[in-house]
Amino acid sequence: MDFKADLRDLRFQLFDWLPMDELLATGGFGDWDRESLGMTLDEAYKIAQERLGPGNEEGDRTEAQLADGQVTLPESSHDGYRTVAEGGWIGCANSPEYSGLGMPHTVGTAATDLFAGANLSVTLVFLLTRGVGEIIERHGTDELRALFCERLYTGHWSGTMCLTEPHAGSDVGASTARAEPLGNGRYQVSGEKIFITFGEHDLTDNIVHAVLARLPDAPSGTRGLSLFVIPKVRVQADGSLGEPNDVRCASIEHKLGIHGSPTCSILFGSEGGCEGYLLGEPHGGMRVMFEMMNSARIEVGIQGTAVAAAAHQAALAYARERVQSRRWSDGRDADPVAIVEHPDVRRMLFTSDAFVQAMRALALKTSYCLDRSHVEEGEAAERYAAYVDILTPICKAWCSDWGFRVTEWCLQVYGGYGYSKDYPAEQYLRDIKITSIYEGTNGIQALDLVGRKLRRQADAVRQLLGEAAGTARGLASDPTLGPSARKLGQALEVLGRVLTETPGKDDGPLRLVLNAVPILDMLGHVLGGHHLLEQARIAGDRVREIVAAKGLEDGDADAYRELLQSDADAAFLHNKVQAAVHFAHRVLPQVEALAAPIEAGETAAIDAVL
Amino acid sequence: MKIGVCIKQVPDTEARLRPSASGQWIDEEEIPFAINEGDEYAIEEAISIAEQTGGEVVVVTVGPERAREALRKALAVGAHRAVHLADEAYAGGDCWATARALAAVANRESFDLILTGSQSADVGFGTTGTLLASMLGWPHAWLVVGLEVADGSAKVTREMEAGKNELLQIGLPAVVEVQAGINKPRYASLKGIMQAKRKEVAELSPADLELDPSQVGAAGSRLEFLSVSVPPKGEGAQILEGDTAEVATQLVDKLRTEARVL
Ligand SMILES: Cc1cc2nc3c(=O)[nH]c(=O)nc-3n(C[C@H](O)[C@H](O)[C@H](O)COP(=O)(O)OP(=O)(O)OC[C@H]3O[C@@H](n4cnc5c(N)ncnc54)[C@H](O)[C@@H]3O)c2cc1C
């Protein structure tokens, strides 16, 4: 089945909802304008469909193979990688000084939505490669920048991030990898890193690892970690490849999904010959690594969105053609209909669609704030940076968790065929699961949110929720969206109460850590409802314009239905309104249910004997 | 070497088409348009020849304002500049009138070679390139699956019946109408998309081309579209709806469960 995306929604969210003109008017993006950015989306979609999509199933079935320390990937992965790298997509939002293309991250994120939906496994290497380039550009010496940035942004070499060790997973501070100065400005690094995505592969001649390790006499915990750039093959002063470094892939994982993405155990310096460069300050590695992780977390949010979106498109196409059972309201002898006609199937499909739209909105908005934080100055830059800070864990965890559920609903749409490998539903479900685990589990994201960010960025939280309250008030008396806006208002009230009252309770800290994930979900639901209502307001206005332009009578239901049949754009806009109504009535009320145990101080999971 | 590529913007193959209110053409509102598929191969062929010989590629189209997007795409994949015949006077032309306008551009530009697709995906006459060649008095070849240009002539491989090919040598300038599949069209790189904005798109009126408005567009046409309609559903015929993949799945399903031939 060919990869399909809702390009219309992507365009709507980018160009009709987000204030893209304001962003471009800052002058921070060279010559990029609406037209050329729109064209990049068309091209990204073509590449996703023609070059990444076709290899998705093969990557899953063939799996990455390890032999003699070398990992090989199927030709289709090579083809997809090459096409994306040659098109300039890896460094699309990076600095032109190093052959990046300088476009907004927001649009880069939209491209990732297409690439990751078509082939999550291969798309991971783009994110890692870009990420390592970025931290070297920001924190590297001139020498490092000259050696690595351009080669990474253009995809000649690829990147990895190496934090995890057998005893250091969520607790990165427990890392034991070591580094010693060699006296020539370089360092000898030794240690084992596990679960390293694209730690070894045959897509590029060199692999540039960003590795956390501890210098002699370093303090314990994360404050004693330094960051090292370690190429798989040593690089000579002119950038050409020299001797192999002492970096070895010991094994690869056999896992539930993303089989096309090799997950490697990497031994650094097992023979005492692994040379690397220090990036940033001694013991300052975690701060730099966090920069890479933060961008990566936004991208993981979009991965969740992308795979869920692909699963939804596939399920929708299937439901339109699978004929089974008569319509519930038809007589006994009526002909069977396509399953898309059955209300329960419609509900699963449309809940999926509404969630995908809300997830996409959150991921794009987070990237948009990131762009603004880069191009604005002073107070505005700080405000946008604070938004990014708060939105990042929500984007990562909410989009990946609900994305997983979307793939489950979409599999359910197929019935037995969804469980079979003949259809892509089961692969989407397996592949997407990783997004709630890597780059910090969703549990850790939620703790970061309630433990740190809600406190530190209290003003930004108030502003974001204030915007949502503005939307709820503004639409309260809208004939179509009024009831939905009131649901948003109610959810905001409950959320506000939980956020202000819980910390002050006697057992406040326990309530917060116990309920970090539900609190993150409450925020995600509220932001999702807010964004969908904003979009519905724009879409509703457009529909009214179309109705007026076509000279249809207001309230002529038959003519309106016919319009929706014949005019794809009107149907799209109509559905945007329906998605907001659906989400507001079915998801926003869950906020109150999530609040109930928190407000009641229920702690059975703590009191139970486990 | 200066290569002209004549391209046409046509309704996207996935667009759902409906006859327009007048019944003489399709309703063009709200449907997506794209570069005619065959023409994408002509563009790629021209760009790769120009890369090898250091030449210039000029894309030319006759079409309304929306067709500028097709030109921009061609510029983004590597054409050097574009000529857009967008004047109202060109509207509604048949292949004769269109070829006349293109011939005027060819004369003005002194192309060494003109590439086109073999037929358009909308009306599918497959004659514009041939008419263009005859108006210019140039040799031409249709359904070309291989092209090598050297020293003022071109070796052309043409597709024949029964899987056979024919190899011809023709002198330049010539019109070569390529067949889909002759090459692998490249994707526009992000750099290419950025650069496309700065490339020249010249709009030329009939007067600029020393043509009388009566020679182009509907006025200069010999063919009139009387009506366009969806074929009537025959007895027992089923029309499968959906995109290609959906339709193919439905078809296989029907062959299996209804016709029971699979
Ligand atoms: C396919 C794949 C690819 C990966 N790619 C990379 C990579 O490229 N680079 C890299 O460095 N790592 C990578 N990882 C590792 C990944 O980031 C870790 O698996 C993840 O951070 C969790 O660590 P862990 O597996 O050790 O789980 P643990 O830390 O053991 O966690 C187990 C459970 O305990 C919970 N938990 C742990 N601590 C706390 C706490 N303080 N409070 C509440 N709950 C807690 C977690 O949320 C989780 O549910 C990858 C993993 C996989 C599976």
How many angstroms separate the alpha carbon of residue A170 from the centre of ligand 1? 5
Domain of residue B246 covers 231-262
How many angstroms separate the alpha carbon of residue B188 from the centre of ligand 1? 39
The pLDDT value given to residue B122 = 86
- Residues 6 or more apart whose Cβ sits within 8 Å of residue B208: none
Instruction: Name the residue of A63, A435, A441, A513 whose CB sits within 8 Å of the most ligand 1 atoms, as the mutation to test its pocket.
Output: A441
- Phi, psi at B136, each rounded to 5°: -85, -15
Tell me the per-residue pLDDT of B92-123, one tens digit each, with 9 for 90 and over.
999 999 999 999 999 999 999 999 999 998 88
Q: Above 80 in pLDDT, residue B262?
A: no
Q: Is residue B97 part of a domain?
A: yes
The pLDDT value given to residue A1 = 56
The pLDDT value given to residue A289 = 97
Average pLDDT, chain B: 92
Q: Is residue B173 part of a domain?
A: yes
Atom in ligand 1 nearest the alpha carbon of residue A437 = 20
Residue B135: both structure tokens together: 């108006």
Could you say which of B72, B196, B250 has the minimum Cβ distance to residue A321?
A: B250
CB distance A514 to ligand 1 below 6 Å: no
Angle between helices A458-474 and A482-501 (to 10 degrees): 160
Same domain, residue pair B121 and B240: no
A335 and chain B in contact, CB less than 8 A: no
Q: Is residue B226 part of a domain?
A: no
- Residues 6 or more apart whose Cβ sits within 8 Å of residue A199: A160, A162, A193, A207, A209, A249, A262, A263, A264, A265, A266
Same domain, residue pair B166 and B251: no
| Active-site entry in A137, A192, A200, A439 | A439
Same domain, residue pair B109 and B133: yes
State how far the alpha carbon of B225 is from the alpha carbons of A190, B7, B10, B20, B228, in Å.
77, 21, 17, 12, 8
Check: pTM over 0.90? Answer yes or no: yes
Best mutation target among A32, A34, A36 (most B Cβ atoms within 10 Å) is: A36
User: Rounded to an integer, what distance in angstroms lies between the CA atom of residue A524 and that of residue A530?
Assistant: 10
User: Rounded to an integer, what distance in angstroms lies between the CA atom of residue A521 and that of residue B14?
Assistant: 39
Phi-psi sector, A378: left (phi>0), alpha (psi -120 to 50), beta:
left
ipTM of the complex: 0.89
Percentage of chain B exceeding pLDDT 70: 100
User: Rounded to an integer, what distance in angstroms lies between the CA atom of residue A214 and that of residue A212?
Assistant: 7
The pLDDT value given to residue A55 = 96
- Residues 6 or more apart whose Cβ sits within 8 Å of residue A452: none
Same domain, residue pair B143 and B80: yes
CB distance A117 to ligand 1 below 6 Å: no
CB distance A547 to ligand 1 below 6 Å: no
Same domain, residue pair B177 and B245: no
How many angstroms separate the alpha carbon of residue A364 from the centre of ligand 1? 25
User: Rounded to an integer, what distance in angstroms lies between the CA atom of residue A558 and that of residue A563?
Assistant: 9
The pLDDT value given to residue B239 = 80
Same domain, residue pair B239 and B163: no
Q: Which residues does residue B6 pair with via DSSP β-bridges, in sequence order?
A: B60, B116
Tell me the per-residue pLDDT of A124-166, one tens digit each, with 9 for 90 and over.
999 999 999 999 999 999 999 999 999 999 999 999 999 999 9
Q: CA nearest B76: which of A90, A12, A38, A81?
A: A38
Beta carbons of A474 and A482 less than 8 angstroms apart: no
Q: Where are the alpha helices (DSSP H) in B117-231?
A: 128-136, 190-196
CB distance A172 to ligand 1 below 6 Å: no
- Average of per-residue pLDDT across B39-44: 97
Task: Look up A341 and say whether it is catalytic.
Answer: no
Question: Residue B222 in 3-state DSSP?
Answer: coil
Same domain, residue pair B200 and B248: no
| Residue A165 DSSP label | B
Judged by CB atoms closer than 8 Å, whether chains meet at A321 and B242 is answered as: yes
- Average of per-residue pLDDT across B37-55: 95
Residue of B nearest to A86 (CA): B189
How many angstroms separate the alpha carbon of residue A172 from the centre of ligand 1? 9
User: Rounded to an integer, what distance in angstroms lies between the CA atom of residue A322 and that of residue A230?
Assistant: 52
Judged by CB atoms closer than 8 Å, whether chains meet at A317 and B16 is answered as: no
CATH of the domain at B120: 3.40.50.620
Same domain, residue pair B152 and B262: no
Average pLDDT, chain A: 96
pLDDT tier at A555, thresholds 50, 70, 90:
confident
B184 and chain A in contact, CB less than 8 A: no
My answer on whether omega of the bond before B173 falls inside 30° of 0, hence cis, is yes
Atom in ligand 1 nearest the alpha carbon of residue A160 = 8
pLDDT tier at A312, thresholds 50, 70, 90:
very high
Angle of CA points A506, A509, A511, to nearest 5°: 85
**Structural domains of chain B, count:** 2
Q: CA nearest B60: which of B41, B47, B79?
A: B79
B222 and chain A in contact, CB less than 8 A: no
Domains of chain A: which residue ranges?
A: 441-602
Same domain, residue pair B213 and B247: no
